[in-house]
Structure 1
Amino acid sequence: MSLLGKDDEIQIYRESFDETWADGTPINQVRYIVLDTETTGLDPRKDSIVTIGAVAVEDGSICLDDQFEALLRISHNTSSVVVHGITRDDANEEGMDEVLALRLLLGYLRDGVIVGHHIGFDVDIISEHCQRRFGLSLENRWIDTMELTLHLEDAGAFGPPPDNGGRGHDFSLDGLCRRFDIQPHDRHTAAGDAFITAQIFMKLLRQAKQYGRRTLGSLCERYEDPSATPQA
């Protein structure tokens, strides 16, 4: 038992990996956590987390009773305020301490497979701050919906590229909303973007099954551009 008690979130997080998802786990048997953060900048080592939003997806459905949202206190305003709209005064008046927010997040995440659009940054900044606060880095597997979309494009899921001057398909978050007829409510909030991405992810899961990606390992596969020239 942990000195912090049997319900300590960090202990719960660590123990959840004692038995976790294997590469061969069917994709409909996994607990996915679709996650987004808003931050003070784009450097995981220097910038702070402003908000975290997450929602679970299981068996092809968004679990509205399995969500997480946190507003964290921050020390100063940065230019990112024009994106997420949260000022230092807002955060300090209504937000929570970073240590508490990260503890609660770890207890919520457990061994869930993290999902997001360009999620590598979110994983890096959360992992960086967890390492700084608790001496641990995130162990969760993660799926980048952008990479999954590119895998599906290569498999022919989206048809030929449009005649748009060579720009190809628009696989930005907004572009995928238009493709799948998803209304982008609460865009550029962590909780809003997590819910939008969860809807996109469910569409991608259905296509993944059609194109032979039926296991967790195949969803987590990193994408390498086949047209890229290998370096000597």
Structure 2
Amino acid sequence: MNLFGDTDDIQLYHESFDDSWSDSDTLDHVRFVVLDTETTGLDARKDAIVTIGAVAVRRNQIMLDDQYEAMIKFAYNTSSVVVHGVTRESAQEGGVEEPVALRQFLAYLRDGIIVGHHIGFDVEILGERCRQRFGLDLQNRWIDTMELTLRLEDLGAFPEQEHLKKDFSLDGLCRRFGIPPHDRHTAPGDAFITAQVFLKLLRLARRYNMTTLADISQRWQPPEE
């Protein structure tokens, strides 16, 4: 909450799109927000968000002073707890209520370009929770690092190497780029790992004359057989 009350966070989010990014903006100029969520399941309409982790990338750097993290209270444990390790009990003790976390996140996110590995579900569940809580649709553009990887693969950016399989999972890209998978399967940890991967992909993209937001925002299309 800020001095103007809860609703100001949502107002700040809406107003940030009054003068937002354009297709011609260079990659150095854009504020990317690398995002990961951990959830109680894979049904965006019914499952809950457990944790949100995000960190900004700008000017070819991970902006450690521009990040967001929240643990959200949720009602019941599921099999996902085994993966992300956050239990209902720990969330009830150390977490915040979902509306508070979402408002804070929207104020942090603003018009940032969302980035993540297989990010579609994260965007879907955040959008669903914002619609249910506030009647608000997420307006942010988003980039899937998996799709960007596949586009670069089609351009020949990943030649065959004997010691590396064509594994474009997040773990596979960490191995390819020599990135330690620290805090894997936590939202803040996966966001930071993905941000490192994203910087490597941006460097490759520039080699193929992909220098603007439009260049890296195109969706990947499977090659025609």
Change (3 A) 1:220 1:103: same
| CA displacement at 1:161 relative to structure 2 | 7.1
| CA displacement at 1:160 relative to structure 2 | 3.5
1:40-77 Cα offsets, whole Å, 9 max, x none, are 00111111000000000000000000010000000000
Contact 2:73 2:95 in 1 (8 A): yes
Counterparts of 2:97 and 2:181, CA distance in 1: 29
Contact 1:76 1:88 in 2 (8 A): yes
- Consecutive unaligned residues of structure 1, counting only runs of 5 or more, are none
Q: 1:64 matched to which residue of 2?
A: 64
- Consecutive unaligned residues of structure 2, counting only runs of 5 or more, are none
After the TM superposition, which residues 1-232 of structure 1 pair with which residues of structure 2 at under 5 Å, given as runs?
8-160=8-160, 169-227=166-224
SS in 2 for 1:8: helix
Counterparts of 1:19 and 1:170, CA distance in 2: 39
Contact 1:23 1:217 in 2 (8 A): yes
Q: Superposition RMSD on alpha carbons, in Å?
A: 1.6
Contact 1:162 1:169 in 2 (8 A): no
**Deviation >4 Å, runs of 4+:** 4-7, 161-164
| 100-109 or 204-213, larger mean C-alpha shift | 204-213
SS in 2 for 1:104: helix
Change (3 A) 1:5 1:82: closer
Q: Which letter maps to 2:57?
A: V
Contact 1:51 1:190 in 2 (8 A): yes
Counterparts of 1:98 and 1:6, CA distance in 2: 13
| CA displacement at 1:162 relative to structure 2 | 5.7
Q: Which letter maps to 2:190?
A: D
Q: Which letter maps to 2:219?
A: R
Report sequence identity in percent.
Answer: 63
Contact 2:6 2:103 in 1 (8 A): no
Q: TM-score with structure 1 length normalisation? A: 0.92
Contact 2:148 2:216 in 1 (8 A): yes
| 155-164 or 91-100, larger mean C-alpha shift | 155-164
Counterparts of 2:161 and 2:79, CA distance in 1: 35
Counterparts of 1:10 and 1:163, CA distance in 2: 49
SS in 2 for 1:38: strand
Q: Which letter maps to 1:179?
A: R
